[in-house]
Chain A
Amino acid sequence: MSKINLRVNGESQSIDVPPMKRLLDVLREDLHLTGTKEGCGEGECGACAVLMNGELVNSCLIPALQASGATLCTIEGVAQNNTLHPIQQCFLERGGAQCGICTPGMILATHHLLDKYPDPTMEQIQEGLAGNLCRCTGYMRIFESVKKAAEVRATT
C-alpha cells in the first residue's frame, strides 16, 4: 500500500492504496466518485477521462502512484453548487447525451478542447473528441453541443 495525496475537485484527499491500482478504481471505489465510467479498460473509449493537472487523461491507464500529488477534475467537479456548467447545459439542450455513459468523459474532453481552442473549427472538434467513443449519437448532436458551448463561453 502507498499513501497517495490528491486534490480532487478542489478537495484534498489522502488515501492508502496499492500503488498500481488504476486511478479509475481509486476514484470510483476509494473516493466514491462514480461519475467516471469504465468502458474498455484499455484507453480506447475515453469513458474514464478526467482532467489531471489540466490535461485530459484516461484514468484506466494511470496507476495511483502516478497521480500522487496531482490536481484532478472529474465530472462531479464540473457543476458548481448544483448549477450546470455551460458545457453541461449545452449537452442537455442539444441532445449531446443519449444513454449518458460516455457523457462524463465527453464533457471533460470538451472542457479540455475549449480551453485549448476557445473557438474551435469543426476539424478541431472532431480531432479533439476522437479519443471519446460514443455509440448512440453519431456525434452530430455532440458537435452541436460543443459549438454552442463555445458560443456561450465567448459571450460570458
Chain B
Amino acid sequence: MQESQPILGASPLRKEGRAKVLGAARYIDDITLPGMWHGATVRSSIARGTIRSITFDPAIDWPQFTIVRATDIPGENTIVHLTKDHPCLADPHINHPNEPILLLAHPDKTALIAAVKGVKIEYDELPGVFTIEDSEAAVENEDAARIIWPGSDAGGTANCFKQYLMYTGDKDEAEAGINAAFEAADFVVEGEYSTGAQEQLYIENNGVIAECFRDALGAIESVCVRGSMQCPYYLVHALTLVFNLPEDKCRVIQVETGGAFGGKEDFPSVIGSHAALLAMKCGHPVKIVYDRAEDMAATTKRHPSRTRHRTAVSKDGRLLAGTIDIAIDGGAYATLSPVVLSRATIHAPGPYKWPHLRVRAKAMATNIPPHGAFRGFGAPQSLFALERHMDKVAQAVGLSAEELRRRNFLATGDCTATGQLLSEPVDMQHLLTRALADSGYHEKLARFEEENKTSSIKRGVGFAAFMHGTGFTGSGERRLNSLVHVDILEDGRPCILVSSTEFGQGTNTILSQVAAQTLRMPYESIVVAQPDTSVVPNSGPTVASRTAMIVGKLVERACEKTLATLRESEGLPEDFTPQQFTAATLAYRAKHGSLRSSVRYEPVAKIYWDDDLYRGDAYPGYAWAVYVAEVAVDMNTYMATCTRFDALQEVGKVMHPVLAKGQIEGGVAQGIGYALYEKCVWQNGHMANNQMTNYIMPTSADLPPIHVHFEETPCIHGPGGAKGIGELPMDGPAPAILNAIENATGMSFTAIPLLPEDIFERVTAMKNAGSEALNPGVDLDTESEVTA
C-alpha cells in the first residue's frame, strides 16, 4: 500500500525553504519583544585563579544598567550537563579564559560595549594547564598546584573527567590474548596521531531572548527563553536548577536556527540561563546575541585528541591484537566530554575484526573553555587515528592499503569489538570495490606515480573505511525514553509535535515525509509544530544522527496509531484516499474534540548494552562508508589541496536524495576544513584567532568536486528503512586526505590540521633538503616504530 505514495525517497521542497530564500525566516536576532533590553557578558581575562575584587568605572552611569552577579542566582549556580561542576557565573574561581563573571543589561545595545570594559576585575592568578600532556603530568607528578579539576560525585578523578576501558570479551582473557599475540606477531606497528580543536562556525552566532514572569507578590513564577538551539529540553533542565523552578515553569522555544553542528547542543544552556537571569533582575525581556569574536572565544569546539595505536599483525596481514589509547582535551569543565569520549572509544576499532583488543580512553581537564559537541562527537578523532594507522600497518606488512583492509573487514554475522552481532547485512568489501572504481582510484594510483616523477605538483589518492553509529550510545535511547505526538488539527491536517529541531539538516522535511508516507496524505498537508516545550513533548535532543532513524520511527508509529484509531472508530478502510482520511479525522474530532496519537520509544528487546563492562549492542544501527580523496601537493608552496572527493555510503533508505546529498557534501566540506584549513591557535587557553579573518574555513573556491554515492540497504529500526547520516561524513575526509598526501609525497603526517607550514617544516628538515634545510644537523628519521 505504501507504493501508492512514494514520498519517502522523493525530494519535496524543504518545508521552511520558501521563507529562507525570501529572507523572511525569522532568526533570533530578527525578533524584538516590546520593552526588550540587551544583555552582555563580562568575562575573565585570565585562565585560572580567583577573583580578588570587582570595581566599576565611575565614568559610567551604572544605575542605568542591570548587573547580575553569581549571588543573584535564585537556584543553583550551575549549568547542568552530566555533572554540576560548571558554574553559571564564576565565583570566585576562574578556570578558563573568557569565563562569564558578571552580566549586564541596558535598553541600548551600544551602551554595553563601554560598560563591559568599565568593569575592572582583579585576580589572584594560579598556574594554568593547557595541554593533555601537562594535565597528565600534573597527575603523575602529584603536582597539587596543577590539579585543576578535583573529580566529582558523578565520577572522574583528579584532572580526568572520565575514563573507559573496553575489551573484546572478558578482561583477563583479552589481556592474555593481547600479550600472546604481541609475542607471536610477525609485525608490531605503533603510531601516534593527533587532531586539533575545530570551531563549528555556524554562520549565525549563539543568541537568545529571555523573559521572566512574576506573580502578584513579586515572586518568580516562570521563565521563557527563545533562541537558536538544538535541544530545547536541555535548556529547560538547566533553567530548572538555575531558577529552582519546576519544569513546566521553564518554557523554551526554538526559533529558526542558522546552523548548529553540535555547537548549539550544550551551549544554549549557558547563554539561555544568562539572559533569563538578566530578565529576572531588570524586569524586561533581554536579548543576548554574541558577536563572532565572543562566540568563537567563549563557546565550545571539537575536542582535541591524541591517540596511540599498537597493533600486532601477521605477515599475511591479519590483525591479531591491538591496544588503542585515546586522550581528549575536555577543557575546564566536564560538560559533555564523557559522552564524546564514549563515542570516540566505541568507534576506535573501526569496521574491522579484532581478535583481541583493548581501548583505554580518558578525557583530561585543561584551562581552556570547555570543548563540546561537534558533528561526529569523538568519532572523527578516533577514526582519523585508525585509518591513518591502517595505512601504516599495510606498509609494514607489505600489502596495499586496500588489501590490508580487505583481510580484516567486519562482515554480516561478525561481532564488533563490543560484542555486537552484525545481524543486518554489512558489505564493506563491496563498498570498497565500488568506491575505488567510482573514484578511478587504481588508474590514478598508477598514473600519478608516473607523473609525479617529473612534476613539482605531487598528486596522490587515499581512502578511509569507517562506520558511524546512529542514535545515542548504548542504553542512551532507553534512558531518553522519547515521546512523540501526532495531532489532527481543526482543519484535518496532521501535525507532528516533537522537540527535534530544524537547523538546516532537514528535520521538518523528512519527518513530514514520514508522516505523509504513513498517512498517505500529501506532503504539503503535513504541519510541523514549532518546538515550544509548552506544546511539544520531549522527543529527545537533536543530536547523534538520531532524528531520521529514532524520531522518524516514532513519527511513523504515531501515524500508524492514528490510522488504527480511525479504522476502529470511523471505519476508515484499509485502502483510503486523502479525502476519506480527512473526513474520518473530522468525524473523530467532532465526537471526541481532538485526535492525538502519542508513542514512546520502545527498547528493542534484543538490543542490550552493559555500561559497566562496556560491552553489548552499542548502537541500533550503523552507516558504513568508504571515502576516497585525491590531492595535489605543490612542493614549491607546500600547499596541499583536495582536488576531488568521492563519498560512498550505505545509509539504509535515502529519505530525501537532495537533502541527503547536501548533508554528505556539507559534512565532507567540514572534514576537508578539519584536515587542511581550520586551526585554533591557543595562547594560554585563549583562542588567539577568534575571527573569521584568521580562522580559515573552506570557501566555494577552495573545495573540490564532491561526488556522493549511496548504497541503500533498508534498516529495520528506521522509518522506511532509514538510518542516520548527519555525522557520518565528518569521519572520513581527514584520514582519506592525509593518506592521499602520503601517497603523493611519501611523507607520513599524523596530525591535523595539516597546514602548508607543517609540510614546509617537514620538507626543509629532511636529510636531503639540501639548500632548503632549516637545520641540517637534525636526524629526523625517527619514525621507525615498525619492528619485524
Contact = CB atoms under 8 A, between A and B. Distances in A.
B239 to A, nearest CB: 25
A99 B258 contact: yes
B203 A79 contact: no
B700 interface: yes
Contacts of A51: none
A99 B669 contact: no
Interface in A8-60: 28, 34-42, 44-45, 47
Given A92-B18, A107-B21, 9 more contacts: A37-B258, A92-B21, A98-B662, A99-B258, A99-B504, A101-B259, A125-B700, A135-B697, A136-B259
Given A133-B697, A140-B706, A95 B203 contact: no
A103 B17 CA distance: 10
A84 B668 CA distance: 30
Given A74-B23, A133-B203, A141 B661 contact: yes
Interface stretch (B26-34, B349-357, B593-601): B26-34
Given A100-B20, A135-B666, A34 B30 contact: yes
A135 B701 contact: no
A47 B203 CA distance: 8
A101 B27 contact: yes
Contacts of B485: none
Contacts of A94: 658
Given A126-B701, A133-B203, A140-B665, A84 B21 contact: yes
Interface in B687-745: 691-693, 697, 699-701, 703, 705-706
Given A39-B204, A133-B203, A104 B23 contact: yes
A93 B658 CA distance: 9
B700 A126 contact: yes
B23 A129 contact: no
Contacts of B773: none
B21 to A, nearest CB: 4
Contacts of A131: 699
A80 to B, nearest CB: 11
Nearest to A94: B658
A137 interface: yes
Contact of A95 (B661, B670, B697): B661
A101 B668 contact: no
Contacts of A74: 23
Contacts of A138: 662, 665-670, 703, 706
A137 B20 CA distance: 14
B503 A99 contact: yes
A67 interface: no
A134 interface: yes
Contacts of A79: 22
A101 B204 contact: yes
A22 to B, nearest CB: 11
A97 B670 contact: no
Interface in B282-321: 291-292
Contact of A132 (B669, B691, B700): B700
A92 B666 contact: no
Given A74-B23, A129-B700, A98 B203 contact: no
A126 B22 CA distance: 23
Given A42-B691, A126-B701, A135-B259, A97 B21 contact: yes
A103 B21 contact: yes
A76 B700 contact: no
Interface of A: 28, 34-42, 44-45, 47, 74-76, 78-79, 84, 88-89, 91-104, 107, 125-127, 129-143
A99 B259 contact: yes
B218 to A, nearest CB: 33
A126 B503 CA distance: 25
B13 interface: yes
Contact of A130 (B14, B201, B665, B701): B701
Nearest to A33: B23
A88 B21 contact: yes
Given A34-B26, A36-B23, A133 B692 contact: yes
Contact of A44 (B24, B661, B692): B692
Nearest to A38: B29
20 contacts: A35-B22, A40-B692, A42-B292, A44-B691, A92-B13, A93-B13, A100-B19, A101-B203, A101-B258, A102-B203, A104-B23, A129-B699, A133-B692, A134-B700, A135-B200, A135-B261, A135-B666, A136-B504, A138-B670, A140-B662
Contact of B14 (A39, A44, A97, A139): A97
Nearest to B24: A35
Contacts of A129: 699-700
Could you say which of A136, A141, A143 has the most chain B C-beta atoms within 10 Å of its C-beta? A136
A24 to B, nearest CB: 11
B342 interface: no
B interface bracket (residues with beta carbon within 8 Å of A): 35 or more
A143 B21 CA distance: 15
Contacts of B256: 100
Contact of A41 (B202, B291, B667, B703): B291
B23 A134 contact: no
Contacts of A34: 23, 26, 29-30
A17 B29 CA distance: 20
B16 interface: yes
B693 A44 contact: yes
B204 A37 contact: yes
B22 A88 contact: yes
Interface in B499-540: 503-506
A135 B295 CA distance: 16
Contacts of B503: 99
B659 interface: yes
A93 B20 CA distance: 12
Could you say which of B22, B259, B667 has the most chain A C-beta atoms within 10 Å of its C-beta? B22
B416 interface: no
Given A40-B692, A138-B667, A139-B700, A103 B23 contact: yes
A35 B701 contact: no
A27 to B, nearest CB: 11
B442 to A, nearest CB: 25
Contact of A135 (B17, B203, B291): B203
Return the 7 tightest CB-CB contacts between A and B, nearest first.
Answer: A35-B23, A101-B258, A99-B504, A100-B20, A75-B23, A138-B669, A138-B665
B669 A92 contact: no
Contacts of A101: 27, 202-204, 258-259
B699 A133 contact: yes
A95 B204 contact: no
A75 B536 CA distance: 32
Contacts of B131: none
A140 B661 contact: yes
Contacts of B506: 98
Contacts of A140: 661-662, 665, 703, 705-706
B180 to A, nearest CB: 46
Nearest to B664: A138
B257 interface: yes
A144 to B, nearest CB: 9
A132 B256 CA distance: 20
B681 interface: no
B763 interface: no
A136 B201 CA distance: 10
A95 to B, nearest CB: 4
Given A34-B26, A38-B29, A125-B700, A135 B202 contact: yes
Contact of B258 (A89, A96, A100): A100
A98 B505 CA distance: 6
Nearest to A85: B21
Contact of B666 (A37, A40, A84, A98): A98
A39 B204 CA distance: 6
A130 B702 CA distance: 8
B203 A143 contact: no
A134 B504 CA distance: 11
A137 B667 CA distance: 8
B701 A127 contact: yes
B25 interface: yes
